Amino acid sequence: MRRRAPSTRSTRTMLRLLVIAVVFAAAVTATLLSGVARDGGEAKAGPRIALRTGSFEAGPVAPGESAALVQELQARLRDDPSDGRSWTLLGLGYEQLARESGGAAWYGKADGALRRALELDRDDVTATVGLGSLALSRHRFRDALAFGRRAQVLGPASAPSYGVIGDALVELGRYDAAFSSFRRMLDLKPTSAAYARWSYARELVGDRGGARRWMRLAQDAAVGQREAFAWASVQLGHLHWGAGEGRAAERQYRIALAVFPGDVYALDALARVAASRGDLPTAIALERRTVDTIPLPQFVAQLGDLYRKVGRPGDARGQYATVSAIERLERANGVATDLEAAAFAADHGRPSVALARRARAVRPSIDGDDVLAWTLARSGRCSEALPWSRRSLRLGTRDALKFFHRAWIENCLGHDARSRLWARRALQLNPNFSLLWTATARRLGR
């Protein structure tokens, strides 16, 4: 077969896509799914790992360009199905489309293309890292760890493999090893992606000032890359928001929108800012724009909570039903959603201890501990919940939502003084930490 020669422009675009997708260690779309259950004003880890670490290394393909590139690659592979490089690029292109659209159906296509690339060249580091990234996006962290380690063997100096390894280890609760992997990535190649990971490591151990400093480095390293810079700005905003610094957070969100108009993560964050000020109509309008652009579950859930807040229970139920439908679709496309589903159910009055235990067994992280603790507490099993809540705080993480969960548990056990202490700690850290639970924390803190 005669191989089709790519145009100069498409070759440049392919190379750009290759760089983007490899260092984008977990596609933002799928990992954001985990934010569906966490109402703390910032997407939570498990959830939060890819938000904090899945930064862009280079400016992404322009809107519409990814689909055109995928079509071109498909045409090339029809002419020459033995072109392993094109299979790798096609798999990464499918991952990019998943990120851009929020469509998990692209994951199966990405998996098939990347595995075909490895059939043609079992030592393809890029395809191996791509499969690791895909496994992270599907919340299959043990698979991601295996792919990351395989990529590390194939290319010991390949920084992205250490990012995949570290991301997986965080979700598996192996924090010392995860931080070592992040540090190795940073030493090999101090890029925006590496700085963002180290920022997240500092945040996990309670060093919010250090986390902000490292995220500013991630932001600086992304100058000239519009979407990458906007992404880092939103993450920096989340760090300010989580520390109760609302004006600084809003400033970063607006910078993100100025640099990259229509950024859904900035719009979603600004909806929280508006809600914290009591401007619920503006919050709903912003969240509606977000959902209309990319209906990710955490956006849909927050819109439902806003409708509930303004006394529109029917509209709220409609959004919650949509969250459940998206979760079913994600599961059908190989995404593990137990942790997110368990937390969402506990927050919205349908706790399932069996689901939370199963989720925590798969993801034995501080977030797995916290979701199990919260589910047990919401089921009235507070004596069982307390040890898990303690475990969820073992790193020294300063997380207002986890503090609130501890306050609830202590109150349930009749420990009024301890409950008051934890509720006040939550509110001192972030007085607007949750659309659903801030008012309860204020009552417990009196």
Structure confidence by residue, pLDDT tens digits, 320-347: 999 999 999 999 999 999 999 999 999 9
The pLDDT value given to residue 279: 98
Closest CA to 268 of 239, 307, 298, 245: 298
Residue type, 334: G
The pLDDT value given to residue 253: 98
What is the arithmetic mean of pLDDT over 12-16? 41
Question: pTM for the whole thing?
Answer: 0.86
Structure confidence by residue, pLDDT tens digits, 25-82: 333 323 322 333 344 444 333 333 333 334 334 334 554 578 888 999 999 999 999 9
To the nearest 10 degrees (0 to 180), the angle between helices 264-276 and 280-293 is 160
Residue type, 80: D
The pLDDT value given to residue 418: 98
* CB atoms closer than 10 angstroms to residue 366: 24
The pLDDT value given to residue 8: 39
CA distance 297 to 370: 20
Task: Quote the Cα angle for 380-385-388, to 5°.
Answer: 165
Write down the H helix ranges in 243-312: 246-259, 264-276, 280-293, 297-309
Position with higher pLDDT, 15 vs 405: 405
The pLDDT value given to residue 64: 58
What is the arithmetic mean of pLDDT over 368-397? 98
Given this structure, which CATH class describes domain 8-336?
mainly alpha
Structure confidence by residue, pLDDT tens digits, 231-289: 999 999 999 999 999 999 999 999 999 999 999 999 999 999 999 999 999 999 999 99
3-state secondary structure of 224: coil
Position with higher pLDDT, 6 vs 209: 209
The pLDDT value given to residue 49: 34
Reply yes or no on whether the pLDDT at 117 is more than 50: yes
CA distance 445 to 338: 31
Instruction: Identify the burial level of 105 via C-beta atoms within 10 angstroms of its C-beta, where 0-12 means exposed, 13-18 middle and 19 or more buried.
Output: middle
Return the CATH number of the domain spanning residue range 337-446: 1.25.40.10
The pLDDT value given to residue 386: 98
Minimum mean pLDDT range among 11-20, 42-51, 345-354: 42-51
Out of 35-44, 220-229, 363-372, the most confident range is 363-372
The pLDDT value given to residue 62: 52
Minimum mean pLDDT range among 87-101, 104-118, 237-251, 395-409: 87-101
The pLDDT value given to residue 39: 42
The pLDDT value given to residue 422: 98
Reply yes or no on whether the pLDDT at 189 is more than 70: yes
Closest CA to 187 of 50, 150, 179: 179
Mean pLDDT of the chain: 87
Reply yes or no on whether the pLDDT at 211 is more than 70: yes
* CA distance to 163, 191, 215, 252, 300, per residue, from 257 (Å): 27, 23, 18, 9, 20
The pLDDT value given to residue 205: 98
Q: Are 168 and 134 in contact (CB under 8 A)?
A: no
Q: Where in the chain is the domain with CATH 1.25.40.10?
A: 8-336, 337-446
To the nearest 10 degrees (0 to 180), the angle between helices 313-332 and 297-309 is 170
* CA distance to 17, 77, 80, 121, 272, per residue, from 84 (Å): 16, 9, 9, 7, 45
The pLDDT value given to residue 209: 95
